[in-house]
Structure 1
Amino acid sequence: MTTPTVALLGTGAMGAGMARNIAAAGIPLRVWNRSTDRARPLAESGAKVCDSVAEAVDGADVVITMLWDADSVEQTLREAAGSFAAGAVLLQTTTVGVDGAAQLDKVAAELGLVHLDAPVLGTKGPAEQGNLVVLASGPEDARDRVDAVLEAIGSRTLWVGGAGAGSRLKLAANAFVLSLTGAVAQSLALTRALGLDPQLFLDALAGGPLDAPYVRIKGGAMLAEQYAPAFGIEGGVKDADLILEAARGNDLDPVVLQAVRDQLVRVLEAGHTDEDIAAVYRDYTG
């Protein structure tokens, strides 16, 4: 397995954890972030912190993007036009949706990059632990060029087809995540409304076929009113909008997700912009 030189663009909650694991694997790494101060701590992990996108990607074999949306990815990549190594691989891990993946496929072609569309399942904790699940898609002949990177950032990589298939599967996965979060909040609120301790709902599921670590984590956060963002509400609404657009564009009525999205928006409008999607529970409790 050849060790690539990697440029990682975007060192927020997800990107920082990914960067540390890439550096820990002994892979040469440059990092860039729009706010350079957020990237500087990664120098302690062995990454070279760059002041410009062009500096970061110059000579890099693999360019990873972990940003906000398709437009921010496109803008960032275009800032480095002319600085990419010939035939460098774009490992695009941002959640961008169906149209966004197609948009970035065109941008990659214009810039001479090989596009691997590879959004990830997992939040800040799994990113820090190297336990992301990568939903990878793209040309088969480019896959071995990113093996070392994928091993560093994830516990498992699922190759799902041509570029864009990963983003489509990510929408289905996030529809489940958001809907499940909303369902847990609803059941806890209903338990309380019926005059019972809502913890009893989680206790009833414990150890049975309906139990899941995610249910316990989000449910516990709701009951403790601890909403430090692992998957922030603004990101949840952004992803919900991508899912709704894709579903309706394929003649599917995503009624459950629409309801959860509306709840998240109400919580956002109440001022809880820096909280986790688990704060959807506030829609019941105030």
Structure 2
Amino acid sequence: MYQVDASGRMRMRTVAILGTGDAGSAMAQRLLELEFTVRAWNRTESRARPLEGDGALVFATAAEAVRAAEVVLITVFDTDAVLDVLDQIAPALAPNTVVLQSATVGSAINEVIEAAMRLGVTIVDAPFLGNPGPARRGELTFMVAGAAEHKLAAAPVLEALASNVVDVADHPGGASLLKLTCNAWLFGTNVMAAQAAALAESFGLDPALFIDAVTGTNIDSPYLHYKAAQLAGKSDEVFSPIRAAVKDLGHIRAAANAAGVPDLLLATLQRIYDRAVDAGLSDRDLAAVRGVLAR
């Protein structure tokens, strides 16, 4: 199941990807490009079938997909989907298979850990930062929490997909909470960037002037340049949809409340993103919240 490359390192050959949405498909393409064998499954099978053209093996069930895989990568949408997938794959996993749980589940990671222990599934808590573009280029950031030997076993996959791997802890759990911390920063930064762009526009100015003005100063941000076209209303490209922010903010607020952290700001952010959903912007990029912050 492994090959030895020219440097003498063991090289992993087979990865199962469960959940082939935009990010999952991009990761599959990246792994295929690096000559991994990719076994893919998606709840809606038609979403996975295009990967066959790239060389992936597509299966009708998650259990079939994980057979013969050294590492399984779960990239489904929410906690219920993760738990369902674990139930499906547990009987089919080889004894040494490591499951990277990469869905954003927040503090529900404890429920996932308990289910994995009950089912005898070896998991590494491994959420990531980044969208399909970085995934396709192998430039994601993974946050990993799990036993050292399990992280080592998954290292070839993580190295293929990520330019940065943050080692959080030697037991699962902390990585999913760190993802919430990062997303709180993202959603807050996004709202303030959108608000500034909306203000500029309402003052009769080109929103791009706002970005020009802060470029190179202490308040500059790579995010502004990354989302410049969306913030200026010149692109409808979706890097991350508003509906995902609404889901994740629910996790963030629940975790904050459990930790005794006031959620005054988080509640305000949730109202803004909820209002964007009510305005029909659910599937638009995060930057589209400017539509509910403008005149």
| Match among 63, 80, 84 for residue 89 of structure 2 | 80
| Match among 154, 160, 163 for residue 155 of structure 1 | 163
Q: Where does structure 1 lack aligned partners over 5 or more consecutive residues?
A: none
Aligned to 1:179: 188
Cα distance in 1, alignment partners of residues 234 and 270 from structure 2: 20
Q: How many residues of Structure 1 are paired with residues of Structure 2 in the alignment?
A: 285
Aligned to 1:126: 134
Aligned to 2:143: 135
Cα distance in 1, alignment partners of residues 205 and 237 from structure 2: 26
1:109 aligns with 2:122: no
Counterpart code for 1:134: F
Give 4+ residue runs of structure 1 displaced > 3 Å after superposition: 192-197
Aligned to 1:248: 257
State the secondary structure of the residue aligned to 1:224.
coil
Q: CA deviation at 1:47?
A: 1.2
Pick which of 252-261 and 270-279 moved more.
252-261
Structure 1 segment 1-286 matched on structure 2, within 5 A: 1-98=10-107, 100-161=108-169, 162-285=171-294
Counterpart code for 1:133: T
Cα distance in 2, alignment partners of residues 60 and 211 from structure 1: 44
Q: CA deviation at 1:135?
A: 0.4
Cα distance in 2, alignment partners of residues 183 and 256 from structure 1: 12
Cα distance in 2, alignment partners of residues 219 and 101 from structure 1: 34
Cα distance in 1, alignment partners of residues 112 and 146 from structure 2: 12
User: Would the aligned equivalents of 2:12 and 2:70 in 1 still touch at CA under 8 Å?
Assistant: no
Q: CA deviation at 1:195?
A: 4.6
Counterpart code for 1:226: S
Q: CA deviation at 1:192?
A: 3.3
Cα distance in 2, alignment partners of residues 199 and 228 from structure 1: 17
Q: CA deviation at 1:4?
A: 4.4
Counterpart code for 2:259: N
Cα distance in 2, alignment partners of residues 233 and 83 from structure 1: 35
Cα distance in 2, alignment partners of residues 189 and 25 from structure 1: 43
State the secondary structure of the residue aligned to 1:101.
helix
Cα distance in 2, alignment partners of residues 110 and 87 from structure 1: 16
Cα distance in 2, alignment partners of residues 3 and 75 from structure 1: 27
User: Would the aligned equivalents of 2:211 and 2:225 in 1 still touch at CA under 8 Å?
Assistant: yes
Give deviations 1:236-285, integer Å, cap 9, x for gaps: 10011100111111111132232222111111111122211111101023
Superposed CA RMSD in Å reads 1.6
TM-score by length of 1: 0.94
Q: Where does structure 2 lack aligned partners over 5 or more consecutive residues?
A: 1-9
Counterpart code for 1:230: F
TM-score by length of 2: 0.92
User: Would the aligned equivalents of 1:90 and 1:108 in 2 still touch at CA under 8 Å?
Assistant: no
